[in-house]
């Protein structure tokens, strides 16, 4: 599932390429035909990102909400666009820019009230200028679930996925299995800054490059060439700080990667 950096990057691209243009909209797949008819002929006024959610506002007060989910994909074309795939849920076409959206978890039109209610359920997003670290700290500390589990709860902090939680916890030197309620202000400040920095750099550059990460294994065809991680997906390899082999655990059906020495975790050898 794309993490917050990808969604914010998409919002920036859409603001640059798509805002101010009138679009013809259709749903080649047929599952969003009614919504596409309401969008067709309208100009895109603004684009906003909050966590893993995209919000497009069109003239006339029509609001489009997109959540890519696990398999969603957005493609952009500045020149002549190819025919859409059979899975294309929404096509926004203009003479100068075209968007193809396929496989989203959510592609829906929302009323202002429904959008406000959805946003009210989302946690603080480190990339939003009005984000409140103090509210994020209090939300993250609710309950005794492991810190690594709490970080993936989008109602506490928005936009964090499996990669970002592993890298941010490592940068902040925090034990991933420590109860979230035991998080202290100093540790949270390190964590918030790590999240904000990783998200901003990745939203700008289109890739996650963790500080001090070892050289990327270019020989692996399944790894994006640009991404470089310190702990994520590096089980058994050396920690870039101390040389200890990186550990991997299954936690709440997700793989968790961490250094057992730098991030001393009670009960884990």
Q: Interior CA angle at 105 toward 230 and 149, to 5°?
A: 40
pLDDT digits (tens, 9 = 90+) for 38-87: 999 999 999 999 999 999 999 999 999 999 999 999 999 987 899 999 99
- pLDDT at residue 214, as a whole number: 81
pTM of the model: 0.91
Q: How confident is the model at residue 90 (pLDDT cuts 50, 70, 90)?
A: very high
Domain 4-120, CATH: 3.20.190.10
What is the CATH architecture assignment of 133-258?
Orthogonal Bundle (1.10)
Beta strands in 22-105 (DSSP E): 24-26, 44-50, 53-58, 62-67, 73-77, 88-93, 98-102
Among candidate residues 3, 115, 124, 167, the one labeled active-site is 3
Q: What is the C-alpha to C-alpha distance for residues 246 and 260, in angstroms, rounded to an integer?
A: 7
Is 146 a catalytic site residue? no
Is 3 a catalytic site residue? yes
Q: What is the C-alpha to C-alpha distance for residues 220 and 227, in angstroms, rounded to an integer?
A: 12
Domain boundaries, the chain: 4-120, 133-258
Tally the residues of the chain. Answer: 269
Among candidate residues 9, 42, 52, 156, the one labeled active-site is 52
Residue 46 forms beta bridges with which residues? 57
Average pLDDT of span 182-206 = 95
User: 266 or 120, which is more confident?
Assistant: 120
């Amino acid at each position: 599932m794309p993490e917050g950096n990808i969604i914010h990057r998409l919002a920036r691209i859409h603001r640059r390429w798509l805002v101010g243009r009138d679009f013809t909209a259709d749903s080649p797949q047929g599952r969003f035909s009614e919504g596409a008819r309401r969008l067709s002929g309208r100009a895109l006024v603004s684009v906003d990102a909050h966590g893993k959610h995209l919000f497009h506002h069109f003239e006339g007060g029509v609001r489009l909400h997109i959540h890519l989910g696990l398999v969603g994909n957005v493609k952009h074309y500045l020149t002549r666009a190819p025919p859409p795939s059979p899975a294309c849920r929404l096509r926004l076409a203009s003479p100068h820019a075209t968007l193809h959206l396929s496989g989203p978890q959510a592609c829906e039109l929302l009323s202002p009230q429904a959008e406000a209610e959805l946003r009210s359920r989302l946690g603080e997003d480190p990339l939003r200028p009005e984000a409140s670290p103090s509210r994020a700290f209090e939300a993250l500390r609710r309950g005794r679930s492991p810190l690594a589990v709490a970080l993936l709860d989008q109602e506490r902090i928005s936009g964090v996925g499996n990669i970002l939680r592993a890298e941010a916890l490592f940068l902040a030197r925090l034990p991933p299995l420590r109860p979230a309620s035991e998080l202290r202000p100093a540790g949270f400040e390190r964590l918030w800054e790590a999240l904000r920095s990783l998200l901003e750099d990745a939203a700008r550059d289109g890739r996650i490059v963790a500080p001090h990460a070892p050289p990327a294994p270019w020989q692996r065809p399944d790894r994006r060439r640009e991404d470089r991680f310190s702990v994520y997906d590096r089980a058994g390899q050396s920690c870039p700080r101390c040389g200890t082999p990186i550990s991997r655990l299954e936690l709440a059906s997700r793989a968790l990667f961490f250094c057992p020495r730098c991030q001393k975790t009670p009960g884990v050898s």
